[in-house]
Structures are given as C-alpha cells and as structure tokens.
Structure 1
Amino acid sequence: MNPTRKIFVPDAASLPKTADVVVVGGGIVGVATAFWLSRAGLDTVLVEMREGLSTLTTPLSVESFRAQMTESAMADLVLPSIRMYENFAETVGIPGHDIALKHQGYLFVSDDAAMAEKLRQAVAVHHSHGVTGSEFVDADAIRRRFPYISERMVCGTFHQNDGWLSSHEATQGFAKGSHAKFLLQTRVTGIGTDAAGVAAVHTSRGSIATRHVVNAAGPFAQSIAQMVGVTLPVDAVRRQKVHVAPKPQIPRSAPLCIDIGAETYWRPEHGGALMAWVDPDEPVTANPLEDVPTDWDYAAVLLDKITALSPFWAEVAETLSASDLTTTAGYYMYTPDDQPLIGPVDAVNGFHLNCGYWAGVMLSPEAGRRVSCLVTGEMRPEDNPLRPSRFAEGLVTTGDSFLRGRH
C-alpha cells in the first residue's frame, strides 16, 4: 500500500467495502489497537470522525506514564506498554521514530504523616509487580532531592523510570507502522447486526461489511455501544489542564509532582509547565462534546492551590499575563472499578471494547495488543481480567492507585 494513502479521507471509490475488523476511534487507544490487529494479519480499518488522528482526548492529557500502579490488572498493561515506548522505533518498525520520551519520574507527596504507612504499602505492591525502582521518600529525602517541593510535604513515593512523551508522535508512529487503513472525517452512523452478530459498520461515507468491531471511541464509546443495544458502565468526567509559558523559576529537570491530598500536579514542559487540579465537584457529563468548554477562572484557582505543593508557583504567578496561560479540557472515563473495559461483549457477537480509560496514553500499547490477542483467539476471554463481563461476574476490585481522579 502507498503509505501516503494509509491515512486519508475516503470517497465513494476509496472507501473499503469490507474489513476483517473495524476500529472506531482514532485516539492513541484506537490507533494502537489497529496497529496490533493489522500486524496479526487482519484486514483492519479504523474510522475517525475528525480531521486527524490524535486530535481529541489524547493530546489533552498530560501525556505521561507511570509504573506506580497498585492494581495487578493495570500493572499488567502499563509495564509492557512502557517497554514498548522505550523501544518504540523498533516496536513500530520505523527506524529513528522519536516520541520525545523522558524518564524524569513521578513524585507523589503528602503533607499528612499518617499517609506514610499507606505509601510504604504502595511501594511494596509496586515491588511485587517488579517495579523495584519505586521508593518511599521521607521528609529529609524530599528536602534534599526535590527542593522545589513545599516543606509541608513529609512523605511520598518516587519512581525515576516514570515520565512522559509526545502522544501525537506515538499515535502517528502506530499508524504509520501499521498495515491498517485510517479513514478520517468518517463518522459512524450505525452498526448493522444479523443472526451471527456484527455484520457492518455504517458511516457518513458508506458501509463497511465486517464481523468484528472494536469500540475505542473514548468519551463517545457509550453512543457507539448503544448502536448495538449495549449500555456501558462508564462515566465521562471533564478534566482541565493549564499550559504555562516558559519561566525561569520552573525547574526543567523536575519529575511530575503530585500532591496526593489536594490532587494538584505539575510537570515541566519545554521551559514551561503543564499543571492540573482534579476538582472533586466536577459532575459526570451525560453528553460528551468534541470541543470541551473550560472555566474562565480555572487557571487562577489552580495557581493558588498548587503553591501548597511547590511554593515557587507564587512567584511565577506574579509574572504571568493572560497570554502565558492556556487552559484546555478533555474527559477521563471511569468504570465502577476505575479500570478499562477490554474485550468482547457477550451480548453481541463480534462487538469488542477498548475504552473506559483515565490513563489511555500510558496503557494503550499493551491494551491494543491484548485486544488483538482476544480477537484472534490467542488469548481466551476468561484469561483477561478486564473483560466487560467482570461486573456481572462479581469480580470487581476497586482501584486504589493514586491520582486516578476518582473520589
């Protein structure tokens, strides 16, 4: 296939009429899924309603990854995903493809001395998952190693190998390294079924006959599922973030710094920073939007709150103008156990899920591979702990990793 025709806006002549599998959603989760399905030898088509891949929720994240997970099912996804990111050019088969990977770490801190035991227990769980670089840090270690953290913080955890990357470049790498076709400006209008299950995907540009659909539509996964009469146990919750223009006070070598109690966090970004606060009063969004509105005062509220984590932000705030701050918003997706929905839906043969993420960027490489293994039969559904049927089976274990944004 001509690589320039791998990602395109189809017309009547170029719209594929059939596919082994159709992936709905062109964020990093969907594109990684299409990559692995196509690499497994399946004729794969991805449909994306917008003008480009990775243009909705994916780039609105803080584009970070961490191995500090306490849930076994999440660790099983994130650890191989990080390895793929570390060897990304080899993974996608594109020599020299750079995703701007930075291992500057995740630092969780607390001003509550009573949290120390819980943090030590979390580190022990990390170690049991093979993340032996995760460490407990006391007040002295925080002062010595992270002088930009408030002296109020008395305990925490740190893992140097955590970090961040360019989610856009990672998404593009998965797309360019795959054998799939990526159809842009192509909106799903319905999913046809027959006695055997999924039969076709109907789009704004025509229909594609297929026996397998993967719903990777992020905040729109609920509406796609309802096309086959399925209601998903997912909630969409708006999450805002602020980009701060470069300022000399911002330490460029800092990790992603998180106040566990307040759920405020920041990390350096090209001399500036990305920062956010998880508002516990943010309601569930019944009808997610493509263009998510932001609160006019969010940046000011956040700057005030985040000084408790890193006092230098008070000095930075005095130098800021409105043009130095850019507020954007996307959605976190939550399931009852704060872990994604991956795998086939029992009620509709051929309908698969890869959605329900608050951590899509960091989990997407291995999650996409898992979907491929389930579709091809390499993995049995009962061996997948994140199968959608787990709730009906009573196999729910609520997540307890820090900074999930769930209250």
Structure 2
Amino acid sequence: MRKIFVPDAATMPKTAEVVVIGGGIVGVATAFWLSRAGLDTVLIEMREGLSTLTTPLSIESFRAQMTEKAMADLVLPSIRMYENFADTVGIPGHDIALKHQGYLFVSDDVVNAERLKQAVAVHHGYGVAGSEFLAADDIRQRFPYISERMVCGTFHQNDGWLSSHEATQGFAKGSTAKFLLQTKVSGIDTDAEGICAVRTTRGSIATRQVVNAAGPFAQSIAAMVGVTLPIEAVRRQKVHVAPKPQIPRAAPLCIDVGQETYWRPEHGGALMAWVDPDEPVTANPVEDVPTDWDFAAVLLDKITALSPFWAGVAETLSSSDLTTTAGYYMYTPDDQPLIGPVPEVKGLHLNCGYWAGVMLSPEAGRRVARLLTGEMQPTDNPLRLSRFAEGLVSTGDSFLRGRH
C-alpha cells in the first residue's frame, strides 16, 4: 500500500494507534518518530500534498544561536539530524541541499554590543562554541557587502539552510506511517476514556491518541475538544528576487537586528523579508494568505540600510523579478512552542505554536514520540502547555523571533 495517497472507501484506514493532524514538516517529522517507535500512525493533511502550506513559505533556515535553553535543546539535536539526514531517515543518498553558510546578526547601534556579547556567552554555555561576537572592523573585513553603519554583530558559520520540501519528503518516505492527502478533519470524538475517534471528510478513524500539529489551524483543531490554546497567528511576508550578478552567492543569512530585515542568497537570487512590528494578529487564518502589493518595494528600500548593494540591484529589477509570498508565524506568550499531552483531554497531544518550525521539527517530533510512549515524563518537558498555569515560563532574547 502506498504511504502518501488520497484515500477512498477501500483504502481509508479505519483504526490507528496515533493520528497526527497536519502535514507540514512538524507533523511529518512527528509521524516519522511515532512510526519509528512501533506505533501504527496515520497523518491527515487537508491539502493536495505534504509541506505545501506554511513550511515552504518559510526561509527554510536553521540556527544554533538561541538564548532560550528549551529552544536550544530542540534545535541543536535537530541540526545534527539534518547534518546526517540520510542516516536519520534510513534512505541512503537522500539530499536535503544542506548549506552551512551561517547566520550573521548585525546592529548599527553600539548600545547593542553588550546584548550581543551576552547572547554569544549564552550560546557558548549551550555548547555552541563557534558563535562569535564581531566588532565593526571584523564585519567590514569578513562581510564587505554589509553597511559600514553596522558596528557590532554575531556570527555562527554552522548555521544555514536546507530544502524543507526534501526534508519533509525524507521523513515521510523513511517512516511506516500512512499519509492521507486531501482529507480534512471535521471533528474529534471523545468518550469516558478520552479521545476515541477522528472524523474526516473521507470517514472516521478510531484512535485513542491524536497529535495536533496543524500549524495555523491548531487552534481550531483544539477547539473540537473544548481546548483553547494560547497561540496567535501573525502574517509574515517574504520576497524572492530573481538571479542578479550583484548578489554574493557565498553570503550568510544577513540580519539587521534593529529593523529585523534580512536576506540570504538563493540560487543566484535571494530571499528577503522584514518582520513588520505593526502586523496585526490574524483572528481567522486562511490557506491562501494575501500579500501587500507594495511590500517588495518597501522591503528593498529598508534592506539597503543593511546591505547597500541592494540599491543598485533595485534599479535593475522589473516586477517579474520579484515574487512576494506570505505565511504565518505562530506565537505563544513566551514565543516557544507547545509540545506534549493536554491533561484535560486524555489522548490529545500538541506539537504546535511555532515561529521556527523547520529548524526545530526533527527533535520536536522525536520528543512527542518519547512523551507519548512514556520514554519521557511530562514534567521533564519544559514546553508543556501547563507551564503557563504552573508559572514556569522562561522567556529568552533570541534575535529575529518577530516579537517586539
């Protein structure tokens, strides 16, 4: 039987030990680890393919430069999995186009120097020995395409980016889970023992365990069993720029921490974005997220403060050279995801609330599997939903979270 398919009456699974809702990279990685744990796992995705909503609309990047311990505990093993991805998923030669071109954070305000130095010290404490503090001369010497206005920064060479599509497909193909496409969840049934079934547009699946990995729709899935999640969706736009000779192909992902504008090379062109602090919360997320007609022009103007060569590039661009897309960042009160069981509804588990889903998904999926099988205790998971009620929230100061 095919692993990834549109089910009909004959092929629709009637039972599963675990049902994962959501076919982005977070959900697919979760299904991979659950199936590796020996559980009969079914993933439900409402769209025509895996990794076709929020995941491909990200900048597909990863970084070890985190100042929250709970986030570092997810991202560091995730990066190691990406570095050894073919072995992780058991598919020899599976290529996810991994590039270690680094993350470069810079600031034009000398007041930020101490903050950046403290961040590097925290990185070192988490074992990220390659994280560096850069003074103005260091930046100019090593990254001549960065504005001379920038006076301090941090850099970690081992950060980088990858193909989220190939990573998602690798997790799917390397698992024994079944992935149901064009299948939408319409309800979740409970009985005296907790969750008992997931209803879909193609029939019901009897199950006692459900993982909510529905990304921007996680709130509506949780509401099906009377649970309100502390997450908010905020639209984030990005621009793809067609290949231009002025764009340095060996550059890292370059970020202005003051403006929260950033760019990185992409196949001779670039991806660039701006985290607009005035973007409102989206009350009702949609699949096709609208973009602003003038976003690319506004962004090109802003990003010249980070890298002046963009002013020259802008003069050569036509509208056909620019493609603007938009997806959602999902935020919790401490800007860290929700992972693990929900005590109020037996059988409901969470893996949602991400602004950094691509970079955290490998280890986050494994943690869900460890929690569900009892290998890890809920009290040992600092990202449990109950942390807010328990007063155990630990906020951090990682750059480029998109929250001000």
Tell me the TM-score normalised to structure 2 length: 1.00
How far apart are the structure 2 equivalents of 1:406 and 1:62? 17
Question: Are residue 191 (structure 1) and residue 188 (structure 2) matched?
Answer: yes
Query: What is the aligned partner in structure 1 of residue 347 from structure 2?
Result: 350
Matches within 5 A, 1:170-189: 170-189=167-186
Question: Are residue 292 (structure 1) and residue 300 (structure 2) matched?
Answer: no
Tell me the CA shift for residue 293 of structure 1.
Answer: 0.1
Query: What is the aligned partner in structure 2 of residue 45 from structure 1?
Result: 42
Q: Among residues 5, 9, 30, which one is paired with 1:8 in the alignment?
A: 5
- Length, aligned pairs only: 404
Q: Which amino acid aligns with 2:172?
A: A
Question: Counterpart of 2:111 in 1: which secondary structure?
Answer: helix
Matches within 5 A, 1:332-351: 332-351=329-348
How far apart are the structure 2 equivalents of 1:73 and 1:233? 18
Question: Counterpart of 1:113 in 2: which secondary structure?
Answer: coil
How far apart are the structure 1 equivalents of 2:204 and 2:10? 12
Query: What is the aligned partner in structure 2 of residue 233 from structure 1?
Result: 230
How far apart are the structure 1 equivalents of 2:98 and 2:147? 27
Query: What is the aligned partner in structure 2 of residue 106 from structure 1?
Result: 103
Question: Counterpart of 1:267 in 2: which secondary structure?
Answer: strand
How far apart are the structure 2 equivalents of 1:245 and 1:199? 50
Q: Which amino acid aligns with 1:34?
A: A
Instruction: Give per-residue Cα distances to partners, 1:263-300, cap 9 Å, x unaligned.
Output: 00000000000000000000000000000000000000
Q: Which amino acid aligns with 1:252?
A: R
Question: Are residue 369 (structure 1) and residue 359 (structure 2) matched?
Answer: no
Q: Among residues 105, 114, 125, which one is paired with 1:117 in the alignment?
A: 114
Question: Are residue 201 (structure 1) and residue 198 (structure 2) matched?
Answer: yes
Q: Which amino acid aligns with 1:369?
A: R
Query: What is the aligned partner in structure 1 of residue 79 from structure 2?
Result: 82
Question: Are residue 139 (structure 1) and residue 136 (structure 2) matched?
Answer: yes
Query: What is the aligned partner in structure 1 of residue 270 from structure 2?
Result: 273
Query: What is the aligned partner in structure 2 of residue 163 from structure 1?
Result: 160
Q: Among residues 193, 209, 213, which one is paired with 2:210 in the alignment?
A: 213
Instruction: Give per-residue Cα distances to partners, 1:293-340, cap 9 Å, x unaligned.
Output: 000000000000000000000000000000000000000000000000
Tell me the CA shift for residue 213 of structure 1.
Answer: 0.2
Instruction: Give per-residue Cα distances to partners, 1:200-230, cap 9 Å, x unaligned.
Output: 0000000000000000000000000000000
How far apart are the structure 2 equivalents of 1:399 and 1:25? 28
Question: Counterpart of 2:49 in 1: which secondary structure?
Answer: coil
Instruction: Give per-residue Cα distances to partners, 1:208-267, cap 9 Å, x unaligned.
Output: 000000000000000000000000000000000000000000000000000000000000
Instruction: Give per-residue Cα distances to partners, 1:55-105, cap 9 Å, x unaligned.
Output: 000000000000000000000000000000000000000000000000000
Instruction: Give per-residue Cα distances to partners, 1:364-389, cap 9 Å, x unaligned.
Output: 00000000000000000000000010
Question: Are residue 386 (structure 1) and residue 389 (structure 2) matched?
Answer: no
How far apart are the structure 2 equivalents of 1:399 and 1:337? 8
Q: Which amino acid aligns with 1:118?
A: R
**Runs of 5+ consecutive residues of structure 1 not aligned to the other structure:** none
How far apart are the structure 2 equivalents of 1:298 and 1:347? 43
Instruction: Give per-residue Cα distances to partners, 1:174-194, cap 9 Å, x unaligned.
Output: 000000000000000000000
How far apart are the structure 1 equivalents of 2:284 and 2:20? 22
Tell me the CA shift for residue 19 of structure 1.
Answer: 0.3
Q: Which amino acid aligns with 2:147?
A: S
Runs of 4 or more off by more than 3 Å in structure 1? none
Question: Are residue 248 (structure 1) and residue 220 (structure 2) matched?
Answer: no
How far apart are the structure 2 equivalents of 1:76 and 1:279? 28
How far apart are the structure 1 equivalents of 2:263 and 2:343? 41
How far apart are the structure 1 equivalents of 2:346 and 2:127? 36
Question: Are residue 59 (structure 1) and residue 56 (structure 2) matched?
Answer: yes
Tell me the CA shift for residue 399 of structure 1.
Answer: 2.7
Q: Which amino acid aligns with 2:253?
A: L
How far apart are the structure 1 equivalents of 2:228 and 2:266? 39
Question: Are residue 404 (structure 1) and residue 396 (structure 2) matched?
Answer: no
Identity of aligned residues (%): 87
Question: Are residue 223 (structure 1) and residue 220 (structure 2) matched?
Answer: yes
Question: Counterpart of 1:117 in 2: which secondary structure?
Answer: helix
How far apart are the structure 1 equivalents of 2:385 and 2:282? 22
Question: Are residue 32 (structure 1) and residue 5 (structure 2) matched?
Answer: no
Q: Which amino acid aligns with 2:200?
A: T
Q: Is the Cα–Cα contact under 8 Å of residues 339 and 399 in structure 1 kept in the other structure? A: no
Question: Counterpart of 1:353 in 2: which secondary structure?
Answer: strand
Question: Are residue 259 (structure 1) and residue 256 (structure 2) matched?
Answer: yes
Q: Which amino acid aligns with 2:58?
A: S
**Runs of 5+ consecutive residues of structure 2 not aligned to the other structure:** none
Q: Which amino acid aligns with 2:64?
A: A
